[in-house]
Copies of this chain bind each other. A is one copy, B any other.
Amino acid sequence: MTQQKLLDAAIQAFSENGFKGTSTRGIAERAGVHHPLITYHFKNKDLLWRAAADRIFKEFNSSLIKAMSEVPEVDPKARAEVFIRTYVRCAHSQPAMHKIILRESSYPSDRLDWLVATHLKPLFELVVDQLKVLQELGIAPAGSPALLYNMIRVSAGGLLALGLEIKGTSGIDLEDQRELDELADMIIRVFLPGDSAPS
């Protein structure tokens, strides 16, 4: 239980202030436990970060994959639409994941290399293959599928990670389910403009 409380607190803290900006004492305080327990359960700050990142990425990826596996057989465009709506929902319920990506990508580090190899690249390759099919069917716009993937990803996860700023500049509250649906609609309208091949 202490481990879980520490991980929850660590995910929250690291997503807000990044690795260097977060103190392990602050994490222990958030979790309501004494700070030497971090050493006992996770050895040091670096391994605590890895355990926290592992947890949030596995949670995100598995809820994404689980939701997609439950989608009945439908045409490619409908399936892509469901994927985008699911991705937006997952990104909203676990905002820490994209925040951690954004925080760790600003300068080279072993943590970033590990993140890319362990969690980012597998999902990237999975989705890019699907995107290529959508492009061939004329559903997704032409051009580099890798760039397209990243544009979709930041339009969903990146935008949600910027929630506070967007609330401030535009008044739009992305915590509101209606705004969230509108975002997903917009992403679909923009990135999947083509009709499903009527064959």
Q: Nearest Cβ in chain B — how far from A78, in angstroms? A: 20
A182-B144, A182-B147 as given contacts; A165 in contact with B18, CB under 8 Å: no
| CB–CB B143/A185 < 8 A | yes
A161 contacts partner chain B, Cβ-Cβ < 8 Å = yes
Known: A108-B164, A120-B168. 18 other contacts (CB 8 A): A17-B18, A17-B106, A20-B20, A21-B22, A103-B106, A104-B165, A120-B165, A121-B168, A124-B170, A141-B186, A143-B189, A144-B186, A146-B169, A146-B172, A147-B183, A154-B162, A158-B158, A158-B162
Q: Which A positions have Cβ atoms within 8 angstroms of B? A: 15-22, 99, 101-108, 112-113, 115-117, 120-121, 124, 128, 141-144, 146-151, 154-155, 158-159, 161-166, 168-172, 182-183, 185-187, 189-191, 193
